[in-house]
Structure 1
């Protein structure tokens, strides 16, 4: 007989992951587990950093996970950062090895299994009962669009990784169904809901049929009427905001000096796109790149811009600028203006960011996301007025303008906001409780 408390549910995300475990206070339900204790986080970046130095242990090469992995990369530790591991599912990479430094090779499948094993240990530490050999994993409706064989292979690879991590019984539930469970628990009648899951890397839409008569079904595939998405989301918003505000003070889109007989030219922009792209920031710190940028001083009409840029490059402040830009985006996301303090680069340097400037920078991305929602509804064979409810989840749905633009297409639909960071994991936990109690 199954031990009801010996299970967990994992939302294995592209950018962040989370765990739900049984709630002792409410049998048949689940609660979110703290996955990083200081200061206490319910989500953990889906990231692993392999150190170039250090000895193997029983689990493999020395590693850091989550925020510690990101910190090691930002601080310039010698090694290899692995992110977006979910994207290798369904590809030929899953069976290949990759160099993680010091001549060490690690299979992508083992990287995946190691991360899931870390999550399992976090669930045990948070109170899940041993032996914790049962898990429900979230999965997208399609790992790979339009290729059933590769899609099946992707799920099989994730299942194999879960077994390698210590789980004997592995089950799956669709992420949009999990996200819709919170809304479904409040439904008194059958409804059609458009789930908008706008995260860090992708914006996914699903049209789902929910209702009290369907809630106890374990197989919900037929309730997913359509699924569609675009690879545009929060990290793209951060990049555009940084380029439109912060990096203007460092020379982006500025002009060079006026010379006799030739018009002033715009300063080369390559370094600014790299500084605004998280995983490329460290590339501007190489000695060759620094020397190249130093020799570009004559390209700048405003030498203060060049001086600030060199401070950022020489003091490795690129990730700090990116973090300030992200914070500013969050500050204006609900409406209003904010001030970005850049005193870390130059004493007294501050930049005002208005919602109007941020909106203008994000307009193109928002338009493509809104269009993806429309296409999803059309794929379901429905008209906008047939959507009964909109369910918003994912960290980027906190952007007021984005949510308003999406909702404008469905004026008759009830708007419901789930927990932006925990709704999928919580829904998976609810499904796991139902599954294993039976």
Structure 2
């Protein structure tokens, strides 16, 4: 990634993702490079673990980030794991506080800013000669679907968090546009490329004109033919899989008893939707909620469902169930079946998951994503056969069925798979180098 010699070198680029994040800085000579964040890994899970039994240090609450955060949670440390932080942007949760254990509460905004601070610190340690105060941040096409006011508020919150941790010049670039810049490095001639950037939180599409004669231009507005997105992606897939497989063993969509010959009613489902949504899981652990759920025992036709549910809640196993749903989705994403071990809840409890079951649970989401791809091309006034290349990036493009369904819509396009976890960061770095030079 070339950097002009005249550049100030005080800039960086951050791909703040729902599931994983990365940061790039100027390198020696005239290039950009991704920063190692954990060992040799240049991507880090977007996760923070707050330790309940450790005192604050000079940097604030005792925390672990990325893989270390997930490991602390898996190993049973006392505290609170926070993931999918990007999903709170544009919501009313941003200024609210949340319990992190040990009688402490932290604002969601501070959780977000703390993670960005960690990324900046990692980059600054690798770039000690200049203070990094300029940043290009990636953003989805829509933080919030069909609500421009909340979408603008989401970007404003992310900018405020970046400024709070030391960046005084903040620019944004659409994530799929950044991925197009990454693809452009290998383009041999001018092309129309449809970038499908499907990550943890959003499925974004951009139709971009790329080529070796265009790549050094700073103003690329005329090359952006259309962009569109939908707030459906990997975390939604995990949620669907958990509801359709794991949580059925805990009473989701089960029927209650027949009382005095009346028609049985379905068990209330709100708790299951919360258990399948990362940033809402901890809400089911509040004393009032636990008391309410205990009192619902008579609503269950199968008492074991209620017993299992209360085990999950009293032992705070919600995040572990969500993680197992995500692992199961990955296991079947290339075809085949798997078994989900739920022995942590009840000895010998196993749940089978087939690719067919997973696909059936995701069908509505996949249709929305494919339709968004079609709409993107239509908004540019083009036909599917005029797309020269389909560039797939983002972690969820590893789902075979989804990638195949999108590709089938553009049968004349060359299908190119980028680095699922680094293409956007690489493109943001290219844009930052051109912008700040």
Give the TM-score, by structure 1 length: 0.83
Query: Aligned partners of 2:38 and 2:272: how far apart in 1?
Result: 33
Distance apart, 1:145 and its partner CA: 8.4
Distance apart, 1:337 and its partner CA: 0.9
Out of 378-387 and 162-171, give the one that drifted further.
162-171
Unaligned runs of 5+ in 1: none
2:216 aligns to what SS in structure 1?
coil
Distance apart, 1:348 and its partner CA: 1.5
CA deviation digits over 1:336-382, x for unaligned, max 9? 11111111111221111000000000001111111111111111111
CA contact (8 A) 1:7 1:129 kept: no
Distance apart, 1:290 and its partner CA: 2.5
1:17 aligns to what SS in structure 2?
strand
Structure 2 vs 1, CA of residues 84 and 192 (structure 1 numbering), >3 Å: closer, same or farther?
same
Match of 1:9 in 2: 13
CA contact (8 A) 2:49 2:72 kept: no
Match of 2:182 in 1: 182
Distance apart, 1:205 and its partner CA: 0.9
Query: Aligned partners of 1:52 and 1:385: how far apart in 2?
Result: 59
What does 1:400-415 align with in structure 2 at a 5 Å threshold? Answer: 400-415=400-415
Query: Aligned partners of 1:270 and 1:157: how far apart in 2?
Result: 29
Query: Aligned partners of 2:236 and 2:203: how far apart in 1?
Result: 11
Unaligned runs of 5+ in 2: none
Q: What is the RMSD of the two structures over their aligned residues, measured on CA atoms?
A: 3.7
Query: Aligned partners of 1:103 and 1:296: how far apart in 2?
Result: 30
Match of 1:128 in 2: 127
Query: Aligned partners of 2:92 and 2:324: how far apart in 1?
Result: 37
Query: Aligned partners of 1:146 and 1:192: how far apart in 2?
Result: 27
Out of 188-197 and 178-187, give the one that drifted further.
178-187
Query: Aligned partners of 2:258 and 2:113: how far apart in 1?
Result: 58
1:371 aligns to what SS in structure 2?
helix
Matched, 1:252 2:252: yes
User: Structure 2 residue aligned with 1:30, among 28, 32, 35?
Assistant: 32
Matched, 1:345 2:345: yes
Match of 2:44 in 1: 43
Distance apart, 1:316 and its partner CA: 1.3
Distance apart, 1:106 and its partner CA: 6.7
Distance apart, 1:421 and its partner CA: 1.2
Distance apart, 1:129 and its partner CA: 4.2
Distance apart, 1:395 and its partner CA: 1.2
Give the TM-score, by structure 2 length: 0.83
Query: Aligned partners of 2:13 and 2:73: how far apart in 1?
Result: 29
